[in-house]
Structure 1
Amino acid sequence: MAYIHEFGIVTCIEKDKNYVRYEPENYNCIGVDGDLFDELFSKDFGKKMHHLETFAHNTNRPFKSLAYCGITLIPPSSQKQFLNMVSEANNEYKSEELEKLMKKIAAAIKEDKWMIHFGV
């Protein structure tokens, strides 16, 4: 069965809201194939990802990396690092999905908005 990780931009982050509902349509999410993400996480990308400062489900729960089976909030302060990691991975994989993810991250950076990740 195919599964995907979805990434979107949060127009207005609610500091005390628990982001626990699967609502990718609310954030204009793009998908990245789960098998591709598994492959990335098994390499250097996965090791680097454990240094990415994020939040799990709300802005009061600091986290490192992406919540594989949950919801991750990626603050603007971590997005350049995230973009660099995805760009490095795309240099090896040349994936259309990673290209779309890089564009989504760049848009979030430009707009100074938080990102949301829906794991599998």
Structure 2
Amino acid sequence: MPCRHEFGIIDCLEEYREEYEPEKYNCTYVEDDLLDEIYDEDFKAKIEKLETFAHNTNRPYKNLAYYGITLIPPKSLKYFLDIIIDANVKYESKELKMLIEKITYAIKENKWMIHYGI
């Protein structure tokens, strides 16, 4: 089974538990091989400034938790969207386009996003 990074939208943060539940959050995925490919210095420098939380809202973080759970607050989503749009310009991936749609929807609805690392 290929390694994937899964991204979803949290409808109610109060109901969030630190468990692997990609179906609950209607996750879309990006293959790990694609993220490895786009993880150049420019992407790395940008993603390391992304304000997130590792596993729960008590652990502020910057970046995506590669092997864990990342919570992305609404205030960080525009920045995250810009990073993914830039990556998609270069790599033109169906997976990145789906992620762009998911982030755009989360922004519109003022929702948190969740990322499950590999």
TM-score (norm 2): 0.95
d(CA) in 2 for partners of 1:21 and 1:88? 31
**Unmatched runs of 5 consecutive residues or more in structure 1:** none
Deviation of 1:60 after TM superposition, in Å, equals 1.0
Deviation of 1:42 after TM superposition, in Å, equals 3.3
Is 1:12 the counterpart of 2:41 in the alignment? no
Q: Flag as ranges the 4+ runs of structure 1 deviating above 4 A.
A: none
Deviation of 1:14 after TM superposition, in Å, equals 2.2
Give the 3-state SS of the residue equivalent to 1:21 in structure 2: coil
Q: CA RMSD in A?
A: 1.3
1:31-50 mapped onto 2 (5 Å cutoff): 31-50=29-48
Per-residue deviation, residues 61-115 of structure 1 (Å, max 9, x unmatched) = 1000000000000000000000000000000000000000000000000000000
Figure out how many residues of one structure are paired with residues of the other and give that number: 118
**Equivalent position to 2:24, from 20, 26, 29:** 26
Q: Provide the identity percentage.
A: 58
Per-residue deviation, residues 22-79 of structure 1 (Å, max 9, x unmatched) = 1100100001011001122234112210000000011111000000000000000000
